[in-house]
Chain A
Amino acid sequence: QKEVEQNSGPLSVPEGAIASLNCTYSDRGSQSFFWYRQYSGKSPELIMFIYSNGDKEDGRFTAQLNKASQYVSLLIRDSQPSDSATYLCAVSAGGGNKLTFGTGTQLKVEL
């Protein structure tokens, strides 16, 4: 069983719609949760981080964390074609804050 699991996609949504990206993790000791965006051929870019149960909003992005269910999600409102990328979920269980990544979900926002 992978430590961090994501649906690889592609997830296709029309422009202006809400994109919902999901991630589950296996280590109950995980403390910090990150969403990175990665364009093809580029390095990961931090979008959101969340540490506490509940929702955290930043502009068009909302991260949701449910530690009891070991589930973290990212919602992108008013999706734009420029949001088309791979979204990586990353988890840290402390111990130096090294990150364990999922395989990423490819998002395609269609005109």
Chain B
Amino acid sequence: GAGVSQTPSNKVTEKGKYVELRCDPISGHTALYWYRQSLGQGPEFLIYFQGTGAADDSGLPNDRFFAVRPEGSVSTLKIQRTERGDSAVYLCASSSTTSGGVRGTQYFGPGTRLTVL
């Protein structure tokens, strides 16, 4: 497909468990972003990658959250020792560049709904 894909679409886990969420960006997009959206709220920035490196991780809430993009394409968001407050929809977006303008437009994937019991 041509769009951003995310797996799994739904993830239910127990408090204290480890989870991995995967994002496959649009082919050729060098910039990849992770956001988190809680019910009734807008998406909240977590981290973004330019290529393989995390250029800005200022939105990660604490050190239980970590993300990687080892080959500059697919990214994995990792959450350790999950808490009930981590329950949300995790959205991934990609763009051609991180600059402004048309090429900087971000396109979102369908999201992963994480539920921590």
Contact = CB atoms under 8 A, between A and B. Distances in A.
Given A98-B48, A101-B44, A92 B56 contact: no
A62 interface: no
A88 B35 CA distance: 14
A49, A90, A98: most-surrounded residue (chain B CB, <10 A)? A98
Contacts of B91: 43-44
Contacts, number: 68
A11 interface: no
Contact of B110 (A4, A31, A42): A42
Q: How large is the interface on B (under 10, 10 to 19, 20 to 34, 35 or more residues)?
A: 20 to 34
Interface of B: 31, 33, 35, 40-45, 48, 50, 55-56, 59, 91, 95, 97-102, 104-111
A32 B55 contact: no
8 contacts: A32-B100, A44-B43, A44-B108, A45-B108, A51-B101, A90-B42, A97-B100, A98-B56
